[in-house]
Amino acid sequence: MNTARTSTVGKHINLRCEKQFKSQRNLNLHMKIHTGERPYACRQCEKSFIRKDNLENHMKIHTSERPHTCPQCEKSFILKHHLDVHMRTHTGERPYVCVQCGNGFMQKSHLDDHMLVHTGEKPYTCPQCEKSFPSKARLSVHIKIHIVECPYTCPQCEKSFKQKHHLEDHIRTHTGERPFTCPQCGKRLAGRLKDHMRIHTGERPYACLQCGKSFKRKETLNVHLRIHTGEKPYTCLQCGKSFKQQSEQLVKHIRIHTGEKPFTCPQCEKGFANKRTLSVHVRIHTGVRPYACPECGKSFTQKHHLDNHIRIHTGEKPYACSQCGKNFTQIHHLDDHMRIHTTERPYTCRQSGKSFTNKRNFTDHTREKPCTCPQCGKTFTQKINLKIHMRIHTGERPYTCPQCEVSFTQKSTFNTHMRSHTGVRPYACVGCEKSFTRKQSLTIHMRIHTGERPYSCPECKKCFTQKGNLESHMRIHSKVRS
C-alpha cells in the first residue's frame, strides 16, 4: 500500500500521519519510523539507526571521541548541537519562548514539554499506579517512589544508597578522605567535583520544564519538580508527616523523635541533628559572618538570614496565607501563622509531654545546660552565654552607646538599645504584624495568639506566659505560708 504522495505545491506528504516534508529523501527517512526499518547497525552493541550520520555519532560513545569543546569551561561533547545547547548555560540565552506565559527555554524539546502544562495533556503514564504526567522527566521522578531498593549499605552508620558511587562518596564522610581537588579554587572534595565546578562556570544544565528555573544538579531539579506536582513521597512512620526528600528532610525529621544528635561541635561539644546546623553553629566560636547587607552593613552567619533581613529594607512579603490573605517576609513565619488556623502543635517534648506550635519554643524548652558558672552555679546551654553571664560578676560592660554613653554587657542588648535611637523594630508578629525591638518581646507576645503558657505553678498548677509573672504569683503562696 502506497502511504506517500506529492502534493500540487511540491510538498511530500505521509498519508499515514499527514506530516509534510520538503524533499522525497526526508520523506523516505521519515517512513522508516512507521516501518521500523533501521538499516545502520552498530557492530559493538548491535544498536541500530535510521540514518547513517546517527550511527556515526553513536560510534563516538565507543571511541570516547568528544571533538567539540567548550571554550569557557573545556567540557567536551560528541555532537556540535550538544555544545551549542551547553554554551547557552554560559550566555544565559533561552531562544525558545512560550507564547502563553513568556518563560524561555534553552532547548526546543524543553519548550515542547512545557507547552503540555498549558494544554493539560499528560501523555506519560506510570506503569505501576497509572498516574499521568506532562513530561518524561516528571514521570522519571515519580517512578522512584515505587523503586525503594537501596542495595548499598554503609558498614559504619547503616545508611543505604541506590548507587554504589553514592555509597563510596558517603564513606568518605567517615574517613575524612578528600581525593578530588578543584583546579580553580584548590578546594578538596570527597566527591561531586563536577557539581562543584559549576559554581565557577555558572552552568545550570537541569531546567524545570514548567517554570524554566535551572539547577546545577539533577537531584535538586527532581526535588524542585515536587513543588509543582505536590508530591511528598517520604512519610515519617511515627507521626505521618510527609516530605519531598528522603535524606535531606525525612532523615533529619526522624531525629526529632529519636533525639539523635550525631554531629558534635569540637569546641563546646554541643550536639546537632544535622551537619549544616553544626557548620552554622561553629561560626559562633569563629565569629565569621560571611553575608553582609549592602544597605546597612549588618552581617549574618547564613545567606537566608541575609535574604530575610533585606526584606526589612525592601518591604517585600512574598509568602501569603491562603486562608486570610496575610503576607509574610519569611516562609517559617507563614508556617507558624498557619497553625493559628489549624491549631497544630507538631513539636512535642518526650519528657514532659508538652507540645509547641513552633520549633524555636520547643528547642528552648528541651535544651541541656552543660556550662556552669563557678561563682553562682547558674547553668547555660552554651559557653558564650556563660561568658556573657560572668560579666555580671566582673562588672565588665564592653558595649557603649555612642549617642548617650550607656554601657551594656551584651552586644544584643546594645543593638536593642540602639533601636530606641533609630526606631527600627525588626521583629514582626506573624499573627497581627505588631513589631518589636527585641526578639524576646515577640516570643512573649506570640503566646497571646497561640495560647501557650509555658510557666506552671508547682503548687496550684496555674500557668503563665512569662517567667516574671510566675515568680510574682509564687510570692502569694510564700506570704500565705508565712
Q: What is the residue whose three cell numbers read 525558545?
A: 96
Question: If we measure between CA atoms, which residue out of 34, 22, 76, 29 comes closest to residue 54?
Answer: 29
Torsion angle defined by CA atoms of residues 189, 191, 196 and 197, in that order, rounded to the nearest 10 degrees: 100
pLDDT of residue 6: 56
pLDDT of residue 463: 85
Residues 18, 14: Cα–Cα separation, whole Å:
5
198 in a structural domain = no
43 in a structural domain = yes
Domain count, the chain: 1
Average pLDDT of the residues of the chain: 79
pLDDT of residue 141: 67
What would the pLDDT profile of 379-431 be if each residue is shown by its tens digit? 887 778 888 888 889 989 988 999 988 998 888 788 888 888 888 887 877 67
pLDDT of residue 274: 80
pLDDT of residue 1: 54
The values of phi and psi at residue 312, to 5°, are -65, -40
What would the pLDDT profile of 195-250 be if each residue is shown by its tens digit? 787 778 778 878 887 777 788 888 788 778 777 777 777 777 777 787 777 666 77
Under 8 Å CB-to-CB from 252, ≥6 apart: which residues? 273, 274
Residue range 443-451: average pLDDT?
Answer: 80
pLDDT of residue 8: 47
**Where is pLDDT greater, at 5 or 185?**
185
- pLDDT above 90 coverage of the chain, percent: 1
28 in a structural domain = yes
Residue range 318-345: average pLDDT?
Answer: 78
Residue 364: what residue type?
A: D
pLDDT of residue 298: 83
| pTM, 2 dp | 0.33
4-8, 115-119, 317-321, 405-409 — which one is most confidently predicted on average?
A: 405-409
pLDDT of residue 367: 67
35 in a structural domain = yes
What would the pLDDT profile of 406-415 be if each residue is shown by its tens digit? 998 888 788 8
Residue range 363-375: average pLDDT?
Answer: 75
Residue range 270-283: average pLDDT?
Answer: 83
Q: Is the pLDDT of residue 135 over 70?
A: yes
Give the range of the structural domain holding residue 57, as residue numbers without chain letter. Answer: 4-63
29 in a structural domain = yes
Q: Is the pLDDT of residue 46 over 80?
A: no
Residues 410, 440: Cα–Cα separation, whole Å:
14
Looking up residue 47, the CATH number of its domain turns out to be 3.30.160.60
- pLDDT above 70 coverage of the chain, percent: 93
34 in a structural domain = yes
Residues 439, 454: Cα–Cα separation, whole Å:
17
Q: Is the pLDDT of residue 305 over 60?
A: yes
- Report the 3 state secondary structure along the chain: CCCEEECCCCCEEECCCCCEECCHHHHHHHHHHHHCCCCEECCCCCCEECCHHHHHHHHHHHHCCCCEECCCCCCEECCHHHHHHHHHHHHCCCCEECCCCCCEECCHHHHHHHHHHHHCCCCEECCCCCCEECCHHHHHHHHCCCCCCCCEECCCCCCEECCHHHHHHHHHHHHCCCCEECCCCCCEECCCHHHHHHHHHCCCCEECCCCCCEECCHHHHHHHHHHHHCCCCEECCCCCCEECCHHHHHHHHHHHHHCCCCEECCCCCCEECCHHHHHHHHHHHHCCCCEECCCCCCEECCHHHHHHHHHHHHCCCCEECCCCCCEECCHHHHHHHHHHHHCCCCEECCCCCCEECCHHHHHHHHCCCCEECCCCCCEECCHHHHHHHHHHHHCCCCEECCCCCCEECCHHHHHHHHHHHHCCCCEECCCCCCEECCHHHHHHHHHHHHCCCCEECCCCCCEECCHHHHHHHHHHHHHHHC
44 in a structural domain = yes
20 in a structural domain = yes
